[in-house]
Amino acid sequence: MQRRILHLRHGGTSLVLDPTTPGLPTIVHWGDDLGDLDQPDLDGLALAAVPQRVSGGLDVPARLTLLPLDADGWLGTPGLEGHRDGRVFSPSFGLVGIDADQTTATITAEDGYGGLRLVVELQVTEAGLVRQRLSLTNTGDDDYSVLSLAATFPVPAQATEILDTTGRHLRERTPQRRAFTVGTHLRESRKGRPGADASLLLAAGTSGFGFERGRVHAVHVAWSGNHRLAAERTITAEASLQGSELLAPGEIDLAPGATYSTPWVLGSWGDGLDDLAARFHTELRARASHPARPRPVTLNTWEAVYFDHDLPTLLALAERAAAVGVERFVLDDGWFLGRRDDTAGLGDWTVDPVVWPQGLAPLVDAVRGLGMEFGLWVEPEMVNLDSDLARAHPEWVLQPGGRLPAEGRQQHVLNLADPGAYAHVLESLDALLVEHPISYLKWDHNRELSSAGDARTGHAAVHEHTLALYRLLDELRRRHPGLEIESCASGGARVDLGILERTDRIWTSDCIDPLERLVNQRYTGLLVPPELLGAHVGGPRSHSTHRSHELDLRAGVAFFGHLGIEWDLTTVDDEQLVVLARWVEAHKQARQLLHSGRVVNADLPDETADLRGVVAQDRSRALYAYTQTATSSTYPAGRIHLPGLDPDASYRVRLAAPTTSLGGAGQSPLLWALDGTRTTGRALATTGIQAPVLFPEELVLLEAILIG
């Protein structure tokens, strides 16, 4: 087999692979497009990366290959862990084939003694992402138990700082940073879903990297079950990011001939986080399944009525919604059999005859008559023990054997890998979709999984359950073309590119306090483009923080995402409804730009100032939101800069409707804002403009329009 140094290039990214290293090939470069390198230059690049043998170590210096293993001298975290009834604990692979073109490589390696074959699929995508998936086949005569199989991405030595996110219900995606020193920083999800604390990305970059600058690399595991992300720096001067599914003991026991494939693990890089995020956004937007039509402004009934379903109230709400410009009305939790609160009913997906004596039809018809689409909340993977379903099929509940797992929100999880449970859920949902013109499902998932086993086998079942969930979503979408699905999990506890392959929106957080959302949306937005981020305007007082905010702040923060309203509009006065309608209309005017442009975040020195925006791909127009999050540390606040514009073009910058609030009394007019001002994109990105004086927790929109 020929062992030529490979150069994959696409979308501004180069990946150089050295297949001459022991074991699997080694990535010697991931990042900048290196241009059209000839073979001698590629060979020289690979040669230049070979380390020396040093005292105290093994005679063959270890390389960080695509599958680092101790058989090849790698004594850090291995890429594969497993065994064959205790044997074959140290597999050793030899390359048997590489099939490559300019952007992809499929690498096959075998361990003859261990009875294993590995295929690594590598691709540099049009958006400049690098994707990896590993598939391990048991070619031996007895079972091989896989404990872990990870995709490994090297990062440059200059990456000395790690960024990831943590969080909780109502506070997902809180950033945390630390020095990337020798050792391993490990983030695991063991909750059967990524979790509210999940890090969508594990990023490593130059010290102090921000949104606008600083070289940074990051990986994401496109998987909705348990996963593991690790950043590791070894004393041999290698630094890497690893991503994998997290497997429970015995979860993957490969029978002879069987194969386990990891989820896709995606890597991005950039100069600044915005650059890195843009690759993910471009990748998602290029999918055939990416929502193509304008994102319908949504009203969700949850914070308006909770479980108090009452037809006249909901009809009044629908009328108000239509009047302010809503295009999709979503009936949340509380409509199905026995569901008066969150203790009962999950699993029985028929309309409750007590609360809905005439069924859903009167509401659905009214909503559609008002020109809106109808959407419905479901939580298909879940079951309350107080339900007809649990009474009839207790064996469908995920359980470790001999006992039920601890409850969460008084509910359990159905084992979708059980054909009976799968068919029940599929046919129940299908019946609803056949009976009513439902164009949208809000698909919730309100508990963490624990002790999640298959009652039939006693084996850990998150892996198979997750695959069955994917099949279920795929099948429903096949049966109901055009159906849109929102991925919700107590807010944003299931946000990953596995679920987004099959859904059209994520519910970003149950917390719609705009100040909290500024952080949550910024960091969720590193992976997910704005058009897929559910962002709602809540009532004046946040239900989850009890802080109160003006409508402009609430609406201005939601404005950039997939806009919705979650507020009892029947209690809102006419004046506020007019302002709300203005925001909805402004969003409709802007959404084409907001949902196709490049997301930018300014690295501002003042922590009380927040500037973010979206710049059209052709840089002809941009919209920014400037928020004074707390009292300004200087008075007046200093200058703010506007990133992302064409440096060589001139723009007119002005304050944009519908924001109206502008600070308090005692200030002179902001001269540039009187009639807008004109200067170049370069000046706007560097010198910047004087920030308007705002009260704390106020927001204004700014617009930049190209004038030549």
Q: In the 8-state DSSP scheme, what is residue 691?
A: P
Strands 161-166 and 202-205: antiparallel
**Contact with ligand DGJ (CB under 6 A): which of 232, 238, 418, 444?**
444
245 binds ligand DGJ (CB under 6 A): no
703 binds ligand DGJ (CB under 6 A): no
* Tokens read off for 225: 């079950």
Measured from the CB atom, the residue of 164 and 444 that comes closer to ligand DGJ is: 444
Taking the complex as a whole, the smallest distance from the CB of residue 535 to ligand DGJ amounts, in Å, to 13
Binding-residue pattern over the window 10 to 29 for ligand DGJ, x denoting contact by CB under 6 A = --------------------
Give CA–CA dist 91/116, Å, rounded.
Answer: 8
Name the residue with tokens 């069924």.
359
Phi–psi pair at 107, nearest 5 degrees: -115, 125
**# residues contacting ligand DGJ (CB under 6 A):** 11
488 binds ligand DGJ (CB under 6 A): yes
Measured from the CB atom, the residue of 115 and 491 that comes closer to ligand DGJ is: 491
Give CA–CA dist 532/253, Å, rounded.
Answer: 37
Name the residue with tokens 């201005």.
556
* Tokens read off for 541: 């007082």
Stretch that binds ligand DGJ, among 94-102, 416-424, 431-439, 486-494 (CB under 6 A): 486-494
Axis crossing angle, helix 462-479 with helix 419-435, rounded to the nearest 10:
30
Stretch that binds ligand DGJ, among 204-212, 345-353, 488-496, 572-580 (CB under 6 A): 488-496
Residues 325-344 that bind ligand DGJ (CB under 6 A): 332-333
Taking the complex as a whole, the smallest distance from the CB of residue 509 to ligand DGJ amounts, in Å, to 8
Taking the complex as a whole, the smallest distance from the CB of residue 427 to ligand DGJ amounts, in Å, to 23
Q: In 258-376, which ranges are continuous DSSP H helix?
A: 273-285, 302-305, 311-324, 361-369
Spell out the long-range contacts of 74-80 with Cβ–Cβ below 8 A and sequence spacing 24 or more: 76/232, 76/234, 76/236, 76/238, 77/150, 77/184, 77/230, 77/232, 77/242, 78/148, 79/24, 79/134, 79/149, 79/150, 79/151, 79/152, 79/242, 80/118, 80/136, 80/146, 80/148, 80/149, 80/150
535 binds ligand DGJ (CB under 6 A): no
**Contact with ligand DGJ (CB under 6 A): which of 329, 356, 507, 626?**
507
Name the residue with tokens 């006065």.
573
Give CA–CA dist 652/584, Å, rounded.
Answer: 24
443 binds ligand DGJ (CB under 6 A): no
18, 274, 510, 610: the active-site residue: 510
Q: Nearest to residue 410, comparing CAs of 496, 338, 514, 495?
A: 338
Name the residue with tokens 């100069």.
271
Measured from the CB atom, the residue of 512 and 623 that comes closer to ligand DGJ is: 512
Q: Given phi > 0 = left and psi -120 to 50 = alpha, else beta, which region is 182? A: beta
Residues 618-657 that bind ligand DGJ (CB under 6 A): none
**Contact with ligand DGJ (CB under 6 A): which of 65, 268, 298, 490?**
490
538 binds ligand DGJ (CB under 6 A): no
Stretch that binds ligand DGJ, among 111-119, 464-472, 484-492, 683-691 (CB under 6 A): 484-492
Stretch that binds ligand DGJ, among 18-26, 459-467, 485-493, 600-608 (CB under 6 A): 485-493
Measured from the CB atom, the residue of 138 and 446 that comes closer to ligand DGJ is: 446
Residue 143 · residue 85 · CB < 8 Å: yes
508 binds ligand DGJ (CB under 6 A): no
**Helix, strand or coil for residue 534?**
strand
Taking the complex as a whole, the smallest distance from the CB of residue 43 to ligand DGJ amounts, in Å, to 55
Taking the complex as a whole, the smallest distance from the CB of residue 511 to ligand DGJ amounts, in Å, to 10
Binding-residue pattern over the window 277 to 316 for ligand DGJ, x denoting contact by CB under 6 A = -------------------------x--------------
377 binds ligand DGJ (CB under 6 A): yes
**Contact with ligand DGJ (CB under 6 A): which of 91, 205, 491, 688?**
491
Stretch that binds ligand DGJ, among 222-230, 487-495, 578-586, 592-600 (CB under 6 A): 487-495
Residue 296 · residue 549 · CB < 8 Å: no
72 binds ligand DGJ (CB under 6 A): no
Taking the complex as a whole, the smallest distance from the CB of residue 446 to ligand DGJ amounts, in Å, to 5
Q: Nearest to residue 145, comparing CAs of 285, 272, 254, 23?
A: 254
**Contact with ligand DGJ (CB under 6 A): which of 72, 111, 510, 698?**
510
Taking the complex as a whole, the smallest distance from the CB of residue 203 to ligand DGJ amounts, in Å, to 27
Q: Nearest to residue 509, comparing CAs of 104, 170, 237, 281?
A: 170
How many CA atoms within 13 Å lie on the side-chain side of 395?
7
Residue 614 · residue 560 · CB < 8 Å: yes
Q: In the 8-state DSSP scheme, what is residue 601?
A: E
542 binds ligand DGJ (CB under 6 A): no
User: Does the active-site annotation cover 510?
Assistant: yes
Give CA–CA dist 528/522, Å, rounded.
Answer: 10
Give CA–CA dist 518/541, Å, rounded.
Answer: 17
Stated length of the chain: 708
Residues 565-624 that bind ligand DGJ (CB under 6 A): none
Measured from the CB atom, the residue of 199 and 490 that comes closer to ligand DGJ is: 490
18, 332, 333, 444: the active-site residue: 444
The residues assigned a catalytic role are: 444, 510
Residues that bind ligand DGJ (CB under 6 A): 302, 332-333, 377, 444, 446, 488, 490-491, 507, 510
